[in-house]
Amino acid sequence: MTIILFLVDTSASMNQRTYLGTSLIDISKASVESFMKIRSRDANSRWDRYMLLTLEDPPSNIKAGWKESHATFINELKNLTAIGLSSLGPSLKHAFDLLNINRMQSGIDTYGQGRCPFYLEPAVIIVITDGGKLTTTNGVQPELNLPMLSTVPGSELTKEPFRWDQRIFGLVLKIPGSVPMDMTGNMYIPSADSHPLDAMCEVTGGRSYAVFTQKMLNATLDSLVQKVQSGVVINFEKIGPEPTPVLIEGKMENVDNNGNSKENQDVNKPIQQEMEDDKKAVLQQIQQQLPGNNQWQNCRKLIYVPRSAQKGYSVGHWPIPEAYWPDIGSATLPPRSAQPVLKFCCTDCEPMVIENLPFDKYELEPSPLTQFILERRLPNSCWQVFISNSAKYSDTGHPFGYLKASSALSCVNLFIMPYNYPVLLPLLDELFKVHKLKICPKWRQQFEGYIKTMPPYYAGPLRRALARMGAPNLVPDTMDNNLSYTVITYLKKLKNQAKVEMDRLIASVGQKVPLNDGIKVDSRTKTSILQRKDFNQLLQNVGGNIQSLKQELTDFNTFTMAVSDPDILPQYYRNPYDIPRSHLLDQISRMKMNFLQKSYSNTKLVDHDQMHNVPIQQMGNYQDYLKKQPPLLRELENQPSRVHMFGNPFKVKNFNMVDEADEANFGQQPVKKRHHESPSVSPGPKRRKAGPLPRDLKYRRPSSPSPGTTPPASPAPASSDTEDSSMSDTESMETESVASEDENLSEEESPLVIAENIEQEKVTNHVTENSVNHSNVNSQSVLKNNVSEVESVRDRSHGHEISSKKEALMWSHNTRLRHTLFKEIKRPGRNYDTLFNHLNTVQGTLDMKSAFVRDVIREAGRFKKKVLIQMLEQYSKSLIQSESRKRTHISTGQWNSGR
């Protein structure tokens, strides 16, 4: 993952206009968008993460950090405004803290364990600013100063605020306000040497660009995109004697690109021309070795760390040693420099490598050092590299790699090998080729002597390399613990603190910094009260009491002045002191217009013209307006989804086929339309609405014969009729308990009407019986049985005539009472006193009351009120017990009266 962080200057000087007609802040926004568009052409851009920072105070300076999306980045970039100071130093420090806090919790710096180039988090910081002075609250600063105070845990382990994989590139916009004279010159982009940012860019391994025209800006963006590479910055310093000029030796000076001698080549070439070329090459090398051309001896450049195509991240084996010998008894770690100082010796050596031993190969960025090595044209020789103080008893240290030109002389590579590889590689070669993995005491003694000169943190990589070669268990496990327990605990503590700080920083992004409530007023003088000139007068004012005078002067130090909030708009109509002096006349005219208006119902305090007065810089800012809008409501009815691809596009699939003839049947409920996504259920036979008749009533209406004909007597079996009627009654009662209150019994369907219907049927049966005496005797017996059955059931269930007025009033009372009780059940809470008070007013026989209580229990079960169900069951039992007591008492009274 490559982090590309844009630090955009948002000081007031970025509002100056250029010859292009736009301000510098607008050019900065367009530059960021152009950079992202050019970068997107590279395949490696899919691992990029963009961040946007400004020069504001934290946390408002972070516009897009670790958790913000690409859309947030673009939105915040468009809304940037240029106000404030050019505090570039603190802003750079905040940018480094934002990057380093994630490094500390991930542990990729491996403090005390060597520096691993393949553990990196490359970051490119692109600073876009103008060529103005650096201004702070303390005044104008001539140079760039980064505050050394850091809130990132573990920042004391590194001397500099940046790391070796973080580079700064400065884009200094010096586009003039008038059209420049020469706009067609060469496209060389000079460095901004006069700006303080240039020195910071050089320190981190980057560079600065001074842009004067739009064409130079486009070329700068192309150059910046090419600089986005994955790698780390290393300082290369020469030690030891000067290298011997190759061409002065006389024989091996003339080599081709492949390192082969050019002798006997180009036979037709004149000998004089060869001598002149040799002289030019000798003079060129002599000029390079003069004191004025020693840039190659000390340079700070990048080494490219490639990403593995299979794994997607960088892979390596050997670290770069630390600049100190780790002491297991030390309680602290010495701070390291951000970029390691790699010292190379110009003594030509042969590159060493053995079979199956892994090594790391990194390409150097083009620099004066790489140019000098390539011009020597010696691809078969190398220069060893060292780290000072890395060994235990040597200041220079032992070699751990070498610099070597490629075979084609196209680049220079840094090979990183095991520490002190000139001693280790012959030992390993002897072990595999001479001893055939049979370790002798002499070889083991030599190997143990090598291990003592090797830093302990090389034990793990060396053990893995030897296991890969087929010789495990050569490195002791005791070498892994090269840090003390105190240091390990401290590093774990720093990692946990960094995680907490990271979460706090992420949560603070986007939050508004609270303004100060007021300005504290300090006393003008801190001298003693006795030395004041007006001491006598003050003493007289307080009545000669010095203590009260001290208290008044002390209380005055806590006095604060209120600060106006810029977000609160001035209310001209409520507070006339908010009216600016320049707007007095306009405001008076508006007040006059509002005061003299005729309509009292449409009173307006602000005219329409003022409501639409918006500054030009805020006309395109729709984000604040959209944030204040209420959320959209959902649609009332969802649009039907298309379930097919062809045919009529307006056709909606319907799962319910309804026949109008079925709906017209007597006593049937209309078919309810179901949603097309709901599962289809078999409708089953239609049942009539449950009536008020008791459940044990068995009634069957006979078919009415046509006049003049005798219907055949075909009565169904009594058992099947009884079962069907009982089942239908049970199902109808369950349907009634689950149905809503609107489907309950209404007053029109009172028992009085049903009783009259039964009496009418009874008369009809008698008339039919009298009119068809000459018909079959079986039909007459059937009619008589039906009438007698109805009469017996009526006498048994009611005890008197159903058509009586008293019975009808009783049923209507129970119906209304049922509505009331069902409403009481729906109410929340566990206070059921009102419900049982109503329940005590139920009228009718014991069977009717028991059936009524069962309906109430069934309704309470719908709402899962278990406590109420238990109370109702106890109430039902008490009803039965009280009725049995009454019957016992009555029977006892009758028996006593009979005696």
Q: Are 130 and 16 in contact (CB under 8 A)?
A: yes
The answer for 397, left when phi > 0, alpha when psi is -120 to 50, beta otherwise, is left
Q: Are 502 and 101 in contact (CB under 8 A)?
A: yes
Residue 493 C-beta-side C-alpha neighbours within 13 Å? 6
Rg (CA), the chain: 50
373: burial class by Cβ within 10 Å (0-12, 13-18, 19+)? buried
Rounded Cα–Cα distance for residues 465 and 454 (Å): 15
Q: Are 205 and 275 in contact (CB under 8 A)?
A: no
| CA-based max dimension of the chain | 166
- Name the least confident of 256-260, 371-375, 394-398, 646-650: 256-260
Give the CATH number for residue 11: 3.40.50.410
Alpha-carbon distances, residue 226 vs 3, 41, 204 (angstroms): 15, 11, 17
Of 173, 200, 229, which marks where a domain is finished?
Answer: 229
Q: Torsion angle of alpha carbons 438, 444, 446, 452, nearest 10°?
A: 140
Q: Are 332 and 466 in contact (CB under 8 A)?
A: no
Residue 743 backbone dihedrals phi, psi, to 5 degrees: -95, 0
pLDDT at 663: 44
DSSP 734: H
pLDDT at 474: 87
pLDDT of 736 higher than 80: no
User: Is 255 within a domain?
Assistant: no
SS3 sequence of 767-798? HHHHHCCCCCHHHHHHHHHHHHHHHHHHHHHH
Of 452, 481, 510, which marks where a domain is finished?
Answer: 481
User: Is 778 within a domain?
Assistant: no
**Pair (307, 204) in one structural domain:** no
Alpha-carbon distances, residue 162 vs 100, 115, 155 (angstroms): 8, 15, 10
Query: What is the token pair recorded at 77?
Result: 């970039």
pLDDT of 861 higher than 50: yes
- Reported as a pLDDT band with limits 50, 70 and 90, residue 640 is low
- CB atoms near residue 582 (< 10 Å): 7
Average pLDDT, the chain: 75
- Name the least confident of 128-132, 613-617, 799-803: 799-803
Average pLDDT estimate for 395-415: 90
User: Across-strand partners of 169?
Assistant: 126
Which residues, in sequence order, are CB contacts of 147 under 8 Å at separation 6+? 89, 90, 93
Rounded Cα–Cα distance for residues 172 and 855 (Å): 87
Q: Which helix (H) or strand (E) holds 887?
A: helix 866-898
User: Is 40 within a domain?
Assistant: yes
Q: Torsion angle of alpha carbons 467, 471, 476, 481, nearest 10°?
A: -20
**Pair (96, 199) in one structural domain:** yes
**Pair (201, 323) in one structural domain:** no
User: Is 197 within a domain?
Assistant: yes
pLDDT in tens, 287-332: 554 444 678 888 888 999 988 877 778 889 999 999 988 888 888 8
pLDDT in tens, 75-112: 999 999 988 888 888 899 999 999 999 989 888 888 98
pLDDT at 641: 59
**Pair (137, 16) in one structural domain:** yes
Rounded Cα–Cα distance for residues 614 and 297 (Å): 62
pLDDT at 524: 57
**Pair (307, 443) in one structural domain:** yes
pLDDT at 707: 45
Q: Which helix (H) or strand (E) holds 802?
A: none
Rounded Cα–Cα distance for residues 877 and 233 (Å): 92
Q: Are 171 and 127 in contact (CB under 8 A)?
A: yes
pLDDT of 659 higher than 60: no
pLDDT at 836: 86
User: Is 762 within a domain?
Assistant: no
Share of the chain above pLDDT 90, in %: 19
- CB atoms near residue 650 (< 10 Å): 7
Residue 136 C-beta-side C-alpha neighbours within 13 Å? 14
Q: Which residue has the tokens 């084996």?
A: 317
Alpha-helix runs per DSSP H in 454-574: 459-469, 485-508, 535-541, 546-555
User: Listing from the earlier edge strand, what are the strands of the sheet with 208-211?
Assistant: 62-64, 48-53, 2-8, 123-130, 166-173, 208-211
pLDDT at 271: 44
**Pair (210, 321) in one structural domain:** no
DSSP 830: S
Among residues 165, 9, 16, 170, which one has the least CA distance to residue 80? 9
Query: What is the token pair recorded at 330?
Result: 């030390």
User: Is 225 within a domain?
Assistant: yes
Query: What is the token pair recorded at 206?
Result: 């980057």
Q: Beta strands 2-8 and 382-386: pairing type?
A: unpaired
**Pair (173, 307) in one structural domain:** no
Average pLDDT estimate for 413-438: 89
**Pair (219, 302) in one structural domain:** no
Of 207, 229, 251, which marks where a domain is finished?
Answer: 229
Residue count of the chain, please give it: 899
Total number of domains in the chain = 3
Average pLDDT estimate for 37-46: 88
Domain residues for 342?
A: 298-481
Average pLDDT estimate for 761-767: 41
pLDDT at 716: 42
pLDDT in tens, 828-847: 877 888 888 888 888 888 88
**Pair (326, 470) in one structural domain:** yes
**Pair (210, 111) in one structural domain:** yes
pLDDT at 152: 84
pLDDT of 761 higher than 80: no
Q: Which residue has the tokens 């701070």?
A: 335
Rounded Cα–Cα distance for residues 366 and 376 (Å): 15
pLDDT in tens, 544-561: 677 676 666 655 555 677
Q: Are 680 and 766 in contact (CB under 8 A)?
A: no
pLDDT in tens, 270-288: 445 555 555 555 555 555 5
Rounded Cα–Cα distance for residues 611 and 325 (Å): 73
Alpha-carbon distances, residue 670 vs 57, 118, 665 (angstroms): 71, 76, 10
Most confident option among 246-250, 757-761, 824-828: 824-828
- Name the least confident of 59-68, 97-106, 699-708: 699-708
- pTM higher than 0.85: no
Average pLDDT estimate for 58-80: 89
pLDDT in tens, 780-815: 444 444 444 444 444 444 444 445 677 788 888 888
- Reported as a pLDDT band with limits 50, 70 and 90, residue 611 is low
Q: Which helix (H) or strand (E) holds 127?
A: strand 123-130
pLDDT in tens, 209-264: 999 888 899 999 999 999 998 999 999 998 888 887 765 444 444 444 444 444 33
User: Is 201 within a domain?
Assistant: yes
Among residues 428, 310, 411, 422, which one has the least CA distance to residue 363? 411
The answer for 876, left when phi > 0, alpha when psi is -120 to 50, beta otherwise, is alpha
pLDDT at 753: 39
Which residues, in sequence order, are CB contacts of 284 under 8 Å at separation 6+? 375
The DSSP secondary structure of 40-64, one letter per residue, reads TTSGGGGGEEEEEE-SSPTTTTEEE
pLDDT at 794: 46
User: Is 516 within a domain?
Assistant: no
CA 264 remoteness from chain centre: 70
**Pair (224, 340) in one structural domain:** no
pLDDT of 50 higher than 90: yes
- Reported as a pLDDT band with limits 50, 70 and 90, residue 392 is confident
pLDDT at 252: 40
Alpha-carbon distances, residue 766 vs 567, 698, 701, 760, 785 (angstroms): 95, 20, 14, 10, 12
**Pair (223, 302) in one structural domain:** no
pLDDT at 225: 93
pLDDT at 31: 95
pLDDT at 405: 92
